[in-house]
Each structure stands twice: as C-alpha cells, then as structure tokens.
Amino acid sequence: MSVATRYFDQLFADNDDPWAFRQRWYERRKRALTLALLTKPRYASIFEPGCANGELSVELAARGDRLLCCDTAAAAVALARTRLLGFTHAQVHQSRLPQEWPAGQFDLIVLSELCYYLDADDLGRVIECALASLTADGQILACHWRPPIDGCPQTAEQVHAMLDQRLDMPRVASHPEQDFLLDLWSRDGTSVATLEGLR
C-alpha cells in the first residue's frame, strides 16, 4: 500500500523543512548534481510531483518556461507557493498521484524522492501517466535515497529498475552513489555533444 497523505501531513505539522533540505550539505549537493544531470539548458514545461517545501522547485523554475509542482500535503503546498513567489510561470497544486495526475504535456518530469512511497501498482500507474504526458523529445529524471525507509513499500533499486523497464527509453545519464540513485531517461537519446555538433 502506498504511504498515506496523513504521514506527510504529520511531517509538516510543526516543521517547514522536515528533511533539512536547506541545512544539509548532502541535500544541497544532491540538488546540484540533479540539475547538472539534465542534458538541456532549458525546458518548455516541467512537472515536479512531490515538491515538498519547494527547494528543488526554485532551481527547476530557473530552467523552465513553465513549472507545475504538486504535493499531497497542504502545508507543503503552502510552503512551496511561498518559495516560488518570484516566479510567475510556476504553479503549485495540492494533489495525490496517480489519481490526480495533471492534464497537459511536459518535456521534463522530475521524480525526486517520491516513488518509493508508492506501491508497485501506483508506481506503474504513475509511469503510465508520465509516458502519456511526455512530449516527443521529453525526459524523465528520477532521484531516490538508497537505504531502506521504514514504512515505504519500495527501495530506490526497485523503483529505478521498474522505471528502466517500463519507460522503455534510453537512459542518457546516470549517477549512482552509496546514498542515492540518480538517472535520466530521454525519448531522444542523442548526447549533448552530438546535439551541439561536436561529434
């Protein structure tokens, strides 16, 4: 069973940064690596589900013409909206996935520290929704903490294995570490150097 919304509501009940995204060097470094893995300097439309308090969202907003974020916890949505106040092209909605996947097309979908909270059935539906809303040259980025998390139905390894199998598109960049897995899949498997005429 996927982790319930009340779990996230409790995390944010008296803490505006329950994972210490702002304080920990680990988190700041991981965000930098996440952004560095992206093979395009800019994206027309980005979707970031599970945006939490919006720390990664701010960085993504600087790389896109449109950013849509969502979270299942009302407090997280309010925090992310405040964090993104300076970005008129960014929106934050409260929604639970996969049931409330947004309409529209995206050329980048960022699944960061989200998918191990989903059981295999819900993750399968998220992947189906992502594929249906991905543009012809779109990309999906996934980043997940590797150690097991109490109460989570899946591990990072299980999540990334399912993504690799079900997405059925080239994995164009990968950065595995002891602590986390970071992968980028793209419908257009062309390398950055090739796109810029260097090869």
What are the structure tokens assigned to 37, written together? 């893995």
Mean pLDDT across the chain, nearest whole number? 94
Domain ranges of the chain: 5-195
Structure tokens at 111: 């699944």
The pLDDT of residue 105 is 98
pLDDT digits (tens, 9 = 90+) for 161-183: 999 999 999 999 999 999 999 99
Q: Which helix (H) or strand (E) holds 151?
A: none
**Cα–Cα dist 110/56, whole Å:** 10
- Mean per-residue pLDDT, 154-160: 96
Single pTM value for the model:
0.95
Q: What is residue 12's three-state secondary structure?
A: coil
5-195: which CATH architecture?
3-Layer(aba) Sandwich (3.40)
